[in-house]
Amino acid sequence: MSRLGKFEVLDHPLIQHKLTIIRDKNCGTREFREVVNEIAELMAYEVSRDMPLEDVQVETPITVTTKKSLAGKKVVIVPILRAGLGMVDGILELIPAAKVGHVGMYRDEETLKPVEYFVKMPENMESREIFVVDPMLATGGSAIMAVDALKKRGAVAIKFVCLVAAPEGVKALRTAHPDIDIFAAALDDHLNENGYIVPGLGDAGDRLFGTK
C-alpha cells in the first residue's frame, strides 16, 4: 500500500510577508511576478527537504573524505498551465538542474470537467521526484487531473505545491490522491460562488501575465 501524504502550510515569516505583498490588489504585474517566484524559491527549500542523498568520495585540498550528494534522477517541476509557469523560475533558482514538464487543461463548457489538452514530460517519470506547481488550489479539479495525468505516465513520488489553498481544494485533492504531499504558503477561508479563493489574491494567471 502507498504511504499517506501530508498537507503542510509553509508559514515562514518571509513567505507570509511576501504573500501579503501579492495579495494587495495594487501590486502590479512586475512585482507580482517577481514575488511569486521568490515565494516559490523559499517553498522549494522546504519541499525538497527529504530529497534522497548518497555517499560520494570527494578530494578536498587536505584529504579524501566521504560526504553526501543528491542521489537519483533529476527532479521534475510540472507547472499546470498557465499560472503554474509563474513559479518555475523561482524553483529553478534553487534546483537549476531540474527538468520541466508541462500540463495544460481546459474546462469543458458542457460537463464543467477539466480536459487535458497538452502533456509533455521527461522520460523515466517513475523514478523521479515531481513537484506539480500551481499558485492556487481552489476546487482541486485541475490539480486532481494533473496528478492523474502524471500517474498515468508512471509517476509515483509527487508533491503538489501552491501558494494559496482553499479547504475545499485540499479536501478534494487529498481524497482523490491521498498518497501525495501538498504544500501551501497559506490556507485561506473558503471559495466564493465564482470559484475564487477568499481572501485569496484574485486570478493568479491574469495577475502574473497582465491579462484580464
Helix or strand or coil: residue 130? strand
Residue of 11, 20, 50, 107 marked catalytic: 107
63 is known as an active-site residue = no
Residue 202 marked as a ligand binder: yes
Residue 86 marked as a ligand binder: no
In the complex with ligand URA, which residue's Cβ is closer, 122 or 202?
Answer: 202
The contacts of residue 19 (CB under 8 Å, 6+ apart) are 39, 163, 164, 185, 186, 201
The residues that bridge with 185 in the sheet, in sequence order, are none
Least CB distance to ligand URA at residue 211 (A): 11
3 is known as an active-site residue = no
The residues that bridge with 187 in the sheet, in sequence order, are 165
206 is known as an active-site residue = yes
179 is known as an active-site residue = no
Is residue 68 within 8 Å of residue 56, measured between CB atoms? yes
| Eight-class DSSP state of 119 | E
Least CB distance to ligand URA at residue 205 (A): 6
Of 90-98, 99-107, 124-132, 193-201, which segment contacts ligand URA by CB under 6 A?
193-201
Q: Per CB under 6 A, does 197 bind ligand URA?
A: yes
Distance of CA 205 to the CA centre of its chain: 14
Q: Per CB under 6 A, does 204 bind ligand URA?
A: yes
Q: Per CB under 6 A, does 172 bind ligand URA?
A: no
Residues 110-134 as b/e (b if ≥16 CB within 10 A, e otherwise) read: eeeebeeeebebbeebeebbbbbbb
Is residue 164 within 8 Å of residue 188, measured between CB atoms? yes
Q: Could you give the string, one character per residue 128-157, with x where binding to ligand URA holds by CB under 6 A and - elsewhere?
A: --------x-x-------------------
Please state the residue numbers annotated as binding site for uracil: 197, 202-204
Binding site for ligand URA (CB under 6 A): 83, 136, 138, 195-197, 200, 203-205
